[in-house]
Structure 1
Amino acid sequence: MTKYEWKKQDKALYIPGQKPVLIDVPEMQYFTIQGKGDPNGEVFKVHVEALYAMSYAIRMMPKQGVTPEGYFEYTVFPLEGHWDLDEEGRKLDYLDKKHLVYTLMIRQPSFITEELFGWALEQVQRKKKQINVEAVRFEKITEGPCVQAMHIGSYDNEPETFALMEQYCAEQQLRRAEKTHKEIYLSDARKTVPEKLKTVLRFRVERDI
């Protein structure tokens, strides 16, 4: 069987152009973890490590002698983040990152079950005791109709792309369904200069009628 690579098979979801588009995002499975505060802090880093540890535990199952029904070769999906502000942060007329509330997630292949999630938890807890995965959850999430676009550049410049997405909504008789938004990280911020970072920006929309 050909290796499943999200950059090829799911280009519409993960590799949009810089021009905003409307897309219907179906139900998918994720490992998730919730957090709060500045993403430049240590807590955020710990959460990311936990998600990747769990995701690679699943990816490498056959090397541990476990090949579940329906297993197929695939590339681990990118890190995603669903972003909001706490109540105090919404009252401010500027962004204070300490008030950010987020759910980080990494999509999982269709063969994942609650039992395999439990197996991965046990594996990471036993083999990588320095990584705390107790807060990781297994969820099915449906985003539905969304507008998305590729943002190239610093995370701090994302408002420029969001403005284009809002303009697209106005032209297409759409409106944002909520203030929150999704980010999908296609670049490793540790190894990529800010002006070359690639991030998919996405928010849910409704028909404006």
Structure 2
Amino acid sequence: MVFDFKKEFKELYTAKQRPEIVTVPKMNYIAVRGQGNPNDEDGAYQQAIKVLYAVAYTLRMSYKTDYQIEGYFQYVVPPLEGFWWQDHIKGVDYTNKDLFQWISVLRLPDFVTEQDFAWAVETATNKKKIDCSAAEFMPFEEGLCVQMLHVGPFDDEPTTVAVMDAFLKEAGYANDFSDGRMHHEIYLSDARKVTPDKWRTVLRHPIKKQVSEN
């Protein structure tokens, strides 16, 4: 049976339409960093997505090549994800998408080593005629987070975030954003095939236990 991350790690990919606290373990990703409006046609974000999938599917199909990855098993490429922030802005200003800084990522199976990753970047660049040098092997551990399923357009996310924030306050937690802990989105829908009102996106924020003032 083909391994499916969404089915094997349901707590990370099937968030409910109510806030819940999760502890996210260390995982390895294919990552491409950039900035600017993700909706710009042929912009940096769109190019990053092409690079991510070029490397991801090179690794996915490696078993059909002369390059054999130790411990390989067949798997479904996990959903696209993204870490987002805007410098010098608290929260997110959805009216000024040009200010977005982002790290677009796809999760890697644990058997993929940095050596395997380097092979995939070089192979994808040569075979698919796409410069994949911007792709990086990124280990990342999110730790304690709150997450919730958002249904609808991305511009409506503040409504869901407000529910998450209210839940944190009631439960004795607080957001814990920093340079290494960011607004995280996991895209469960193919935006090319589903209307915006039905887009399903996991929103995840880093949190910490609120220290009592008493």
TM-score by length of 1: 0.94
Aligned residues: 206
CA deviation digits over 1:168-195, x for unaligned, max 9? 1011100000173000011111111000
Shift in Å, 1:96: 0.6
2:133 & 2:84 partners in 1: Cα distance?
A: 21
Match of 1:173 in 2: 172
Q: Which amino acid aligns with 1:71?
A: Y
Match of 2:56 in 1: 55
Q: Which amino acid aligns with 1:21?
A: E
Q: Secondary structure at the match of 2:3?
A: coil
Distance 1:94 1:83, change over 3 A: closer
After the TM superposition, list the runs of 4 or more consecutive aligned residues in structure 1 that deviate by more than 3 angstroms.
89-95
Q: Secondary structure at the match of 2:165?
A: helix
Alignment counterpart, residue 188 of structure 1, candidates 180, 187, 190: 190
Structure 1: which 5+ runs fail to align? none
Q: Secondary structure at the match of 1:132?
A: coil
Shift in Å, 1:63: 1.0
2:139 & 2:93 partners in 1: Cα distance?
A: 34
2:92 & 2:4 partners in 1: Cα distance?
A: 41
Distance 1:145 1:93, change over 3 A: closer
Shift in Å, 1:68: 1.5
Q: Indicate conservation of the 8 Å contact 2:71/2:111, yes or no.
A: yes
Q: CA RMSD in A?
A: 1.7
Q: Which amino acid aligns with 1:46?
A: Q
Match of 1:45 in 2: 46
CA deviation digits over 1:89-137, x for unaligned, max 9? 55997631000100111000000111101110111111111x2211110
Distance 1:93 1:72, change over 3 A: closer
Match of 1:76 in 2: 77
Q: Which amino acid aligns with 2:10?
A: K
Distance 1:84 1:119, change over 3 A: same
Q: 1:88-107 to 2 correspondence within 5 Å?
A: 95-107=95-107
Q: Indicate conservation of the 8 Å contact 2:51/2:132, yes or no.
A: yes
Match of 1:133 in 2: 132
Q: Which amino acid aligns with 1:184?
A: I
TM-score by length of 2: 0.92
1:14 & 1:91 partners in 2: Cα distance?
A: 23
1:30 & 1:76 partners in 2: Cα distance?
A: 11
Distance 1:123 1:164, change over 3 A: same
Q: Which amino acid aligns with 1:96?
A: N
Distance 1:90 1:166, change over 3 A: closer
Distance 1:93 1:70, change over 3 A: closer
Shift in Å, 1:73: 1.2
Q: Which amino acid aligns with 2:196?
A: P
Q: Which amino acid aligns with 2:95?
A: L
Match of 2:122 in 1: 122
Identity over the aligned pairs, expressed in percent? 40
Distance 1:94 1:76, change over 3 A: closer
